Amino acid sequence: MKYYFAPMEGITNYVYRNSHNAIYKGIDQYYMPFIAPHHHHHLKTRESSDINPANNQNIDVVPQILSKNAEDVIYTLRQLMELGYGEVNLNLGCPSPTVTKKNKGSAMLDDLDNLDGYLDAIFKASPGLKISLKKRIGYQDTSKLNALISLYNKYPIDKLIVHPRTGIQMYKGSVDLAAFDAFYKDIKAPLVYNGDIKTIADIKAIEQKYPKLEGMMLGRGLIARPYLIDEYTTGQNETLERFERFIESLEEGLRETLKYDKDVLFKLKELWAHMYIMFDHSKKPLKHLRKAQNLEDYHKALDEMLECGINNSEEI
């Protein structure tokens, strides 16, 4: 079983990935948040920095493209090949209305003829480069599920990563394992499960239910407990000392790459909205973290949080 770190726009950029990869083991590949090439083929500064090989040394990373235009994708695939990438992921899953109203991301799962033409052009144009897809089970509903599976089976897809929610579900409601079963049964491409894996018990449940999976991908569960896959694969509990090294390395990286302290603080608060969960009785320090006006306040609240100690008591 392979373990993949999910792309999370605004969170898992190269600063996060480097800190994580330097400290925690067990992740086979880190998927990058999407780049969205335009017809003029310029990438945003944040996108160029993220894919720059100099910022991704000694780390197995896969860039992701979000686009509905095959020509733009093909142009970008060539750029990525020139940079030395061997696998590129195409985003067919983004549920954000700003994306879907332009018929991109998960909305592409609604028009199968268009999707077929898109994939056909891309696979024809890019021999030698592995192409994986990351997707939902449908956009509005799952009525096209079997047709989608037949469509994917026509192409040499390197990996199909399925988050079993529809696009309009966003991140709400429960994952639809019956829909995932259909992929498990009939898809030819190596299959990866993604969605709501937050604990070691969740990892085991997916492994037991789907023993032939190529891998699983974790996003929010790994942000909340950065050590989750390390702990599962090595059997070693997280220590405060190691977590402190991680959070310090991350802050250092953020300080080096962001201009203002307030932006560093904002990013750290965003992470703590997930990470507080690993600490015992963390309600009060979390409140202080949320209220921090500057990095000095933040450090005081962080010390309080660390004093709570990591909760390793149950099987998480």
Q: Annotation-wise, does 220 bind a ligand?
A: yes
Cβ 30 to ligand FMN shortest distance, Å:
11
Cβ 167 to ligand FMN shortest distance, Å:
11
What tokens appear for 69 in the block? 């235009």
CB of 7 or CB of 285, closer to ligand FMN: 7
CB of 195 or CB of 285, closer to ligand FMN: 195
Distance CA 290, CA 273 (A): 8
**145: three-class secondary structure by DSSP:** helix
CB of 6 or CB of 310, closer to ligand FMN: 6
* Residue 7 CB neighbour total at 10 angstroms: 28
Distance CA 186, CA 179 (A): 11
Cβ 196 to ligand FMN shortest distance, Å:
5
CB of 37 or CB of 195, closer to ligand FMN: 195
CB of 7 or CB of 226, closer to ligand FMN: 7
Cβ 92 to ligand FMN shortest distance, Å:
9
Closest CA to 64 of 80, 75, 49: 80
- Which of these is catalytic: 15, 73, 80, 94? 94
* DSSP element (H, E) containing 245: helix 240-257
Distance CA 278, CA 53 (A): 33
| Residues of the shown chain interacting with ligand FMN in the complex, contacts defined by CB under 6 A | 6-11, 33-34, 64, 91, 93-94, 134, 163, 194-197, 218-221
Q: Annotation-wise, does 163 bind a ligand?
A: yes
CB of 193 or CB of 246, closer to ligand FMN: 193
What tokens appear for 293 in the block? 């006006």
Closest CA to 105 of 75, 147, 134: 134
**91: three-class secondary structure by DSSP:** strand
Cβ 296 to ligand FMN shortest distance, Å:
27
Distance CA 217, CA 180 (A): 14
| CB 305, CB 282: distance < 8 Å | yes
Quick check: is 308 catalytic? no
| CB 233, CB 3: distance < 8 Å | yes
Name the closest residue to ligand FMN (Cβ). 219
Closest CA to 218 of 170, 161, 271: 161
Cβ 82 to ligand FMN shortest distance, Å:
22
- Report CA-CA distances (Å) from 14 to 55, 116, 208: 6, 32, 33
Amino acid at 309: G
Closest CA to 106 of 120, 93, 125: 93
Distance CA 226, CA 253 (A): 16
Q: Annotation-wise, does 64 bind a ligand?
A: yes
Which segments are annotated as binding site for FMN? 64, 134, 163, 219-220
The residues annotated as belonging to the active site are 94
